[in-house]
Amino acid sequence: MLVHQQILARAAAAPSAPAVYDGPAAHTYADLVRAAVTLEHALSASGRGGAPVSTTEIVALVLPRSFALVSSLLGVWLSGRAAIVVDILGLPEARVEFILKDCGVRQVITTAALGGAKVAPMLARAGLRPAVHYVDAGGQQDRSDETAAAAAATAACPWLSGDFICAAQTRGAAFADASPASSTLAYVVYTSGSTGRPKGVMVAHLGLMNLANYYRSERAMTAADCVAQTVSPGFDPIHEEMWPALTSGASLRIASQETRIAPQLLAEWLATSGVTLCLLPTPVAELVLQCDDVWTKHDSQSSAFRLLICGGDVLKKRKPQHCWFAFDNHYGPSEATILATVYAIEESLEVPPPPPIGKPIPNTTLEIVDGATLEPMPRGEWGEILLGGLGIALGYLNLPEKTNERFLIRGDDGRRVYRTGDIGRIRVSDGEVEFGGRVDLQVKIDGERIELGEVETCLAHAPSVRECVVAARELGVLGGKKQLVAYVVPDAEVGEGGGEKQSNAVFIGALQNHVAAKLLPKMRPRHFVVLRELPLTSNGKVDRRALPDPGVTTIAAAPLPPSHSV
């Protein structure tokens, strides 16, 4: 069964079970389906008068993290359409306009507040005139802006009878029977677009089904679980939070904005809110793990929390030994439906180097090949990672040449694989896969190849380092020559002004001594920039493009500024 069919079955079996906690409101599975089928009717009535719809029609959801977003996604899929979730508050307007035009959006779902302040003006500037559906916080249609005729038609929706769940199941089954899951588009998510135009990754329902099945079969997710929802709405791991939980009969608890952006508050919330699982971007997970005062005052007896998951970046720090919960390192691009490999971390916080990314999840294949010839590499040798299996996306929206470049037909059986552009190797000892970074993050200094992740891991384990990232820069201050620059966020024991705190100069001197003892000369950063915090994208990943240029090689006497270089 497709994901939305599984949720309908859960609702039929336990309609009063909690599905989504959104602030003080607790919404049941019956509430979820009621809101979804109401929207399904409105989409169908507005789109093609209830006639069969092409599964390539993409509906834009311009909604915050909320119950309304969950129910609206479900409603879109019940209508036979696909979704694009647009984080209008976290993206530049030009990018939002590009996404809506690229998707050929003819219907938009939003709130009255966002619609008046953001969506309507943007649509006018872009010259777009889609049908706009307004929903309230409970996922119900806000009819204040509808015509009387449209309101009457919605009120007459047959799916809202006492037998609405069974009716919805019938409608969902008809859609599933008419279109094979493997070829049905579920959603589109856009890549960062760091080079060239952003790419819309088209993810199929089959990939979502496999993702949900993984959590039930390999991570024992049941109706007793409660999954945290912290990810930004336009970041595709939000689907990894939602659908494994709801297809398992579990509940979803949405963290407040204040909680999700403050590591200390987030750690306390995870320990005390009843949440059992949480997925965080790796940089955020590392900060949460360092909240020792939270983790030392709770244990498995006082807290329901059992699994922390990180992904999206190289993990440089580990779980402290006193943390009772499991800790998984995930790897997987959007083109593989978010998750391809998993490694359960058992090592302590103090042990370098980075942990492996693990082994493929069920129904997923991984090969290490020569990037030039695509021939398999022997175990233990580095090469490019190729992924295959049920999670491989359909391709890139409106980009057939780019699709053919990255999605390949391989082997006599004609299986589809995705070229990740990531470097990896399979360990000889145990078959675990090690991640070697991006092909485009391997740099050459004086003709020698340097892996930035290895340098970052070394720095991350230096005393008093909270976060760090390393980049190769060609700048006048460095004589126009490409050299390594380390951007480091110290902990609270470092700063200017004397007293008990270690000065920036002493701190950087200690870093220089640390890397000199651990790294070859070619791998040692020649320039250090001290930051209050690393710049992050709206998805919680380190924003390398926002890293400041190094300044002059002097030590400022003023208190620690936003960036301080030596």
pLDDT, tens digit, 9 for 90 and up, residues 322-367: 889 999 999 999 999 999 999 998 866 455 568 899 999 999 999 9
The residue count of the chain comes to 566
pLDDT 10s digits, 197-239: 789 999 999 999 999 999 999 999 999 999 999 999 989 999 9
Give the predicted TM-score (pTM) of the model: 0.80
Q: Which two tokens stand for residue 300?
A: 């498995």
**Which phi and psi angles does 520 have, rounded to 5°?**
-65, 155
Reported in sequence order, the residue ranges of 398-542 that DSSP labels E, i.e. its strands, are 407-410, 415-426, 433-438, 442-445, 448-451, 465-474, 482-490, 527-531
* CA 484/CA 177 separation, integer angstroms: 56
In tens digits, what is the pLDDT along the chain, a chain of 566 residues? 899 999 999 999 999 999 999 999 999 999 999 999 999 999 988 765 443 444 479 999 999 999 999 999 999 999 999 999 999 988 888 889 999 999 999 999 999 999 888 899 889 888 889 999 999 866 666 644 444 333 433 343 333 333 445 555 555 555 445 444 556 899 999 986 444 578 999 999 999 999 999 999 999 999 999 999 999 998 999 999 999 999 999 999 999 999 999 999 999 999 999 999 999 999 899 999 999 999 999 999 999 999 999 998 888 877 887 889 999 999 999 999 999 999 998 866 455 568 899 999 999 999 999 999 999 999 999 999 999 999 999 999 999 999 999 999 998 888 999 999 999 999 999 999 999 888 876 676 766 668 787 888 889 888 889 899 999 887 655 455 778 999 999 987 676 555 545 688 888 999 999 998 888 788 889 899 999 899 988 777 888 888 988 864 333 222 333 333 44
Cβ within 8 Å of residue 561, ≥6 positions away: none
Residue 276 identity (one-letter amino acid): T
Q: In terms of Cα–Cα distance, which of 457, 191, 141 is closest to 333?
A: 191
Q: Which two tokens stand for residue 156?
A: 């007459």
- Cis bond before residue 92 (omega within 30° of 0): no
State the CB neighbour count (10 A cutoff) for residue 512.
Answer: 17
Cβ burial 331-345 (10 Å sphere, 16+ → b, else e): bbbbbbbbbbbbbeb
The C-alpha angle with vertex 548 and arms to 558 and 505, in degrees rounded to 5, equals 35
Contact present, 452 and 542 (Cβ < 8 Å)? no
Cβ within 8 Å of residue 378, ≥6 positions away: none
Contact present, 406 and 364 (Cβ < 8 Å)? no
3-state DSSP assignment of residue 368: strand
* CA 465/CA 231 separation, integer angstroms: 26
